[in-house]
Chains A and B, each alone.
Chain A
């Protein structure tokens, strides 16, 4: 298996633009997680899905952020409109067993909002 795949790997955009991050989880995993990592705040869980259904989105910072999982092999995290403080590395991870077991992280998307 290729592991968790994220695209793009790097994204530079201007404030106010829409940003869409993409994730393909490991086949067979029924949990998918979106994280954000910054130097100041470390790693933060934004939202997670089970069987394509959002379970907990309490970590999503505000209404500008939205996430979808239309099928078991694809998820998106959208920021609209983007702001400079959204600059961070966004990780997608997948796992099984309700996240009790190992979560496998993707390589991350490094987002810079100017």
Chain B
């Protein structure tokens, strides 16, 4: 069964610190992996999309990595800001690469404290 597991479930860090969120998946065949940021009360917003051949992609202070061999991805946030407080959702797309076979993680709830 295709699964996406995210860790930790929740995380609290001080403003200015770095943090790394993890995503492990068992989706096969693999097409792409996306990270979304979801602010409280709002819809998810895409941060990065990575295909099989990409092992790192950045979006400002967000850097996602992908190891397709071990089926692991991480999202690293550098110099965290209060606005980074949100849930971060990992989504893996299977065969076809599109909406078919999308498997969602339950997210990591990140809180940045001043």
Contact = CB atoms under 8 A, between A and B. Distances in A.
Which of A33, A41, A103, A107 has most chain B Cβ within 10 Å? A103
Interface in B61-114: 89, 91, 93, 96-100, 102, 104-107
Which of B43, B91, B107 has most chain A Cβ within 10 Å? B43
A100 B31 CA distance: 9
B99 A48 contact: yes
Contacts, number: 54
A70 interface: no
Given A56-B100, A98-B97, A99-B98, A105 B105 contact: no
Given A91-B43, A108-B43, A42 B98 contact: no
B46 A103 contact: yes
Contact of A42 (B43, B45, B100, B107): B107
A55 B100 CA distance: 9
**What is the interface residue range for chain A against chain B?**
20 to 34
A105 B98 contact: no
Nearest to B32: A100
A93 interface: yes
A101 B49 contact: yes
A56 B99 contact: yes
Contacts of A106: 43
A100 B89 contact: no
A43 B99 contact: no
B1 interface: no
A80 interface: no
Which of B89, B93, B99 has most chain A Cβ within 10 Å? B99
Ranked 4 nearest A-B pairs via Cβ: A105-B43, A98-B98, A99-B99, A42-B106
Given A31-B99, A98-B96, A100-B93, 18 more contacts: A4-B43, A42-B104, A43-B91, A45-B99, A48-B99, A55-B99, A56-B100, A93-B43, A98-B97, A100-B97, A101-B49, A102-B49, A104-B46, A105-B43, A105-B44, A107-B41, A107-B42, A108-B41
Interface of A: 4, 31, 33, 41-45, 48, 55-56, 91, 93, 97-108
